[in-house]
Amino acid sequence: MCHSNCLYFTWILCVLYVPFITSASFIPKDSILINCGGSKALKLDDGRVFEPDSWNQYVGLSPNSNIVVSGNKIGKSNDSILYNSAWVFKETSTYTINTKQIGRHWLRLHFCPVESPHYNLKSAVFSVVANGIVLLHGFSFSKSGKQSCLFKEYAIEVGGSSSEKLVLTLSPFNGSIAFINGIEVVSMPGAQFPPSALPVPLGPAVEIPTHVAFETAYRINMGGPLLTPKNDSQWRIWEPDQSFLVNAATARNVVVNPSLVKYLDGVSVEIAPNWVYATAQEMADANVTDQRFNISWTFEVEPMFTYLIRMHFCDIVSASLHNLVFNVYINNQSALDSFDISSKTMELSAAYFIDFVANVSMVSNRILVQVGPPDLSYFPTNAILNGLEIMKMSNPSDSLVRNLRPDYIDSKTPKRKKWVLLAITSSIGFAFLALISMAFYLYLCHPKKPRRQSSVWLPLATHVGNSDSKVSIGSFASTAHSRSLSRVLAFSEVREATKNFDEHLVLGVGGFGKVYKAVLENGDVVAVKRGNPRSQQGFTEFRNEIEMLSKLRHRHLVSLIGYCEELDEMILVYEFMAGGPLRKHLYGSGLPPLTWKQRLQICIGAAKGLHYLHTGAAESIIHRDVKTTNILLDENLTAKVADFGLSKLGPTLDQTHVSTAVKGSFGYLDPEYFRRQQLTEKSDVYSFGVVLMEVLCARPAINPSLPREQVNIAEWAMYWQKRGQLEKIIDPHLVGSVNLESLRKFGETAEKCLAEYGTDRPTMGDILWNLEYALQLQEASIQMVSAENSANYIPDIPEWVPQIEAAEGGGADSVSYKESDTITSSGVFSQLGDPSGR
Ligand SMILES: *[C@@H]1O[C@H](CO)[C@@H](O)[C@H](O)[C@H]1NC(C)=O
Ligand SMILES: *[C@@H]1O[C@H](CO)[C@@H](O)[C@H](O)[C@H]1NC(C)=O
Ligand SMILES: *[C@@H]1O[C@H](CO)[C@@H](O)[C@H](O)[C@H]1NC(C)=O
Ligand SMILES: *[C@@H]1O[C@H](CO)[C@@H](O)[C@H](O)[C@H]1NC(C)=O
Ligand SMILES: *[C@@H]1O[C@H](CO)[C@@H](O)[C@H](O)[C@H]1NC(C)=O
Ligand SMILES: *[C@@H]1O[C@H](CO)[C@@H](O)[C@H](O)[C@H]1NC(C)=O
Ligand SMILES: CC(=O)N[C@H]1CO[C@H](CO)[C@@H](O)[C@@H]1O
């Protein structure tokens, strides 16, 4: 008996919990669409019909003896028709909209300051109140600086005190006018807004009373296209997220077929259409073993309000359950810790959403949303976000506007007075959707292209000025502290390790001081860089290097093991790089020449290190001094990027560049950075392009002893690359062993790096990909070469042979290193006698 009952019960449960997969469209009970002041019904291309106020039995506009001035001009675009007419109110006026249903409704207001012979709507100053909630107060197009149309979306309760009515009041400020072009009142599904939500910082759930109104601040489709009212069962708009990403390089968008998205119990297309769940941003591949960074989005909001933040998730990236575990932060506070979507949905590609509430304080006008990998290292590192809604909540004085004067709140109920109502028509058509989204794109997505100017190449005057940048090193230091991976060493310890700074242990000498090979007490072989204590410039760079390197650990970055600041000493202790600088392996030292494969692998390693600097850390870092003496090799010829003395934090948030005094090494310096003094990651890309050419041709970046046109490698190599004959100037040691396709790929990559304008240069990620490809081409050809003859290889000896000895003798860019050198110093600068040099 019991047994069968239990089975029956289970069966009922199964039936009840069958996943609710539906695409049946939602039919709202109330859908009142008003073409304010219009004389006929307007059908938008999303299929909705906006009727003139007077036609609609549910709409009352009072007072009620209106003068209608009707125009006969019609806008050009279909979308714009709603904006051809507007009501103009000289006195406080009220729309009363009777609804069939109580509960929250979408209230969408369209304002467009159409041109009219009698009224300047741009200068109109007015307020709007709906069911006692202040939506706009003293709003004016001229004051807000808005030029185009304004579209506002609210969620307002109908019922409660106002019994099945939505009362919308428009009040001109004294002497001014108010106007409106279109109104939508649409009922929403009951569960659209939650009765409570978790606060961030986390605490007990916060209740959201039904009379609280919402204003849509942002509705974002992460990694996806713009979704218009056509694509949403509730006629909402979802914007793409690109312009809100703090660092676009940290994110990669994922798209799956929207029909794969499953809606389980409790989630429906009314929460968000499948296009929202079918696209996401995931962590970009920084190509490091332990990827640790957040994807961050920032949204400007009005302070002193509470916001409902709804996040939409759908695991469209994993191959199996429980593979996607990540952290979510709101305003730097943890919202979800080690969140596993699978544990909520038990299925892949299933829609899921979660709500939070967060206060935005006086001091901040932003909401920062971040997703990043969990601290647990046994999960694959990835994090995603599919969609995000940020809704401003009305405050305890029932307002969505800050700083209302108390007298205004008292007089929120409109005084019924004499009134004049005018409908005006405009010939100007506006497509509000297109305008709003286009304005966004034009403003945010297209950084201004640098003005083309004739390039004035001013050599040698480069390393000047030490008034450094807007980026404060101090602020970086404070955050670096807790995560510092290097240790403080006692001076006595360092002295012992270097046998009291024995001259025989000196590896090299540079502007900063000497570098010694040393053995620490624990047996580690290290390189000790001892600063010249008198140099203030040196101190800045010393601190800079500690701050930068302490936070970074990467296979292709030279690790800082420790440092010592005792007794005015500035000592940095690095891992020892037995192979020394890359430059030494290319020319001038008599070391055996590197094979093409080794050179490619070294370039790939260095590119990985730089890629990590640019994208891998929380803040992007620009190296500023990429050159062959700053790429060090270990005993296995693994390349590591060194010398962070000049590094800068990259541009943040709304900046696209960092303004800073020009620093770097002559011959490697980005001409655009030099001209504009604006630093971006692309300056490193340029320098890396010079490195690539140097690796290929085995000659210094600048060699003044050569004929004039050959002095600068970037110019000389580009001359041949543009003719498709780069092989003419390659290192003679490579002739016969380089696959031509591999060389082409390499040459193209270097050419792109050396593009005149930063925006035309690839990212380090792209470069990495291209170099890996060049390596594959080389390896594939080596496998074939035993079968075929070496027809693929470059047959002839280059016409031009690098004049290495002369170059070194010329001292143009010479560094005096002995065995290994972690220092950079440039003869050019000392030649110039620049006192502020490094
Ligand atoms: C707008 O476009 C829709 C569909 O394309 C059409 O049915 C409607 O008549 C158009 N409205 C006007 C005013 O042209
Ligand atoms: C209304 O007009 C009066 C007189 O012109 C002025 O003193 C007052 O500040 C105005 N009020 C507003 C809210 O602009
Ligand atoms: C926001 O601030 C208000 C007033 O200070 C407080 O009552 C409320 O609990 C806060 N909400 C959250 C989510 O922190
Ligand atoms: C949005 O709807 C339009 C019209 O139905 C359709 O052509 C378009 O492909 C849709 N876009 C998306 C992203 O679904
Ligand atoms: C989050 O932290 C960053 C860096 O620590 C800081 O610049 C930013 O202002 C913080 N944002 C908020 C909203 O607290
Ligand atoms: C992600 O951001 C949060 C909050 O700003 C921070 O605490 C955390 O350390 C960041 N995680 C990573 C890996 O950078
Ligand atoms: C994008 C990219 O560069 N991916 C590379 C990451 O590293 C692995 C292993 O080193 C390569 O196989 C990928 O091609």
Ligand 2 probe mutation, 127, 173, 174, 411, most atoms within 8 A of CB: 174
Tell me what the mean pLDDT of segment 73-87 comes to.
59
Q: Name every protein residue with a CB atom under 6 angstroms from any ligand 1 atom.
A: 42-43, 45, 78, 81
Tell me what the mean pLDDT of segment 351-376 comes to.
90
Note the pLDDT of residue 599: 95
Q: Which tens digits make up the pLDDT trace of 10-33? A: 333 333 333 333 445 678 889 999
Contact 251, 245 (CB under 8 A): yes
What's the pLDDT band for 144 if we cut at 50, 70, 90? confident
Note the pLDDT of residue 706: 83
Q: How far apart are CA 560 and CA 262, in angstroms?
A: 49
SS3 161: helix
- The residue that leads in pLDDT, 664 or 238, is 238
Inform me whether the pLDDT recorded for 610 exceeds 80: yes
**173 touches ligand 7 (CB under 6 Å):** no
Identical topology for domains 2-21+195-393 and 31-187:
yes
What's the pLDDT band for 292 if we cut at 50, 70, 90? confident
Q: Which tens digits make up the pLDDT trace of 532-581? A: 765 555 677 777 777 777 777 788 988 888 888 777 778 888 888 888 89
What is the 157 CA–ligand 3 centroid distance (Å)?
22
The residues carrying an active-site annotation are: 625
Ligand 5 probe mutation, 294, 368, 653, most atoms within 8 A of CB: 368
Residue nearest to ligand 1 atom 14, measured at CA:
78
CATH topology for 31-187 is Jelly Rolls (2.60.120)
Q: 481-486 long-range contacts, Cβ below 8 Å, gap at least 24?
A: 483/550, 483/551, 484/550, 484/551, 485/550, 485/551, 485/553, 485/560, 486/546, 486/549, 486/550, 486/559, 486/560, 486/561, 486/562, 486/563
- The residue that leads in pLDDT, 806 or 277, is 277
CATH topology for 487-575 is Phosphorylase Kinase; domain 1 (3.30.200)
Neighbours of 112 (CB within 10 A): 26
Inform me whether the pLDDT recorded for 439 exceeds 70: no
Q: Which tens digits make up the pLDDT trace of 81-134? A: 677 778 888 888 888 888 888 899 999 999 888 777 777 888 889 999 999 899
What is the 143 CA–ligand 2 centroid distance (Å)?
16
Ligand nearest to the CA of 404: 2
CATH superfamily of 581-798: Transferase(Phosphotransferase) domain 1 (1.10.510.10)
Mean pLDDT lowest for which of 349-353, 496-500, 717-721, 814-818?
814-818
The two three-digit tokens of residue 180, written as one number: 């409106």
Ligand nearest to the CA of 176: 2
Ligand 1 probe mutation, 77, 78, 433, most atoms within 8 A of CB: 78
Tell me what the mean pLDDT of segment 183-190 comes to.
91
Note the pLDDT of residue 141: 86
Residue nearest to ligand 7 atom 5, measured at CA:
287
Ligand nearest to the CA of 50: 1
Taking domain 2-21+195-393, whether its CATH number is 2.60.120.430 is answered by yes
Note the pLDDT of residue 612: 87
What's the pLDDT band for 227 if we cut at 50, 70, 90? very high
Mean pLDDT of the chain: 75
Residue nearest to ligand 4 atom 10, measured at CA:
231
Note the pLDDT of residue 54: 73
Inform me whether the pLDDT recorded for 154 exceeds 60: yes
Note the pLDDT of residue 647: 66
Tell me what the mean pLDDT of segment 269-289 comes to.
88
**235 touches ligand 4 (CB under 6 Å):** no
Cis peptide before 762 (omega within 30 of 0): no
Annotated binding residues for ATP: 529
**357 touches ligand 3 (CB under 6 Å):** yes
- For the chain, the structural domain boundaries read 2-21+195-393, 31-187, 487-575, 581-798
Note the pLDDT of residue 648: 64
- Kindly state the helix (H) or strand (E) to which residue 39 belongs, with its residue range: none
Q: Which tens digits make up the pLDDT trace of 680-700? A: 889 999 999 999 999 999 998
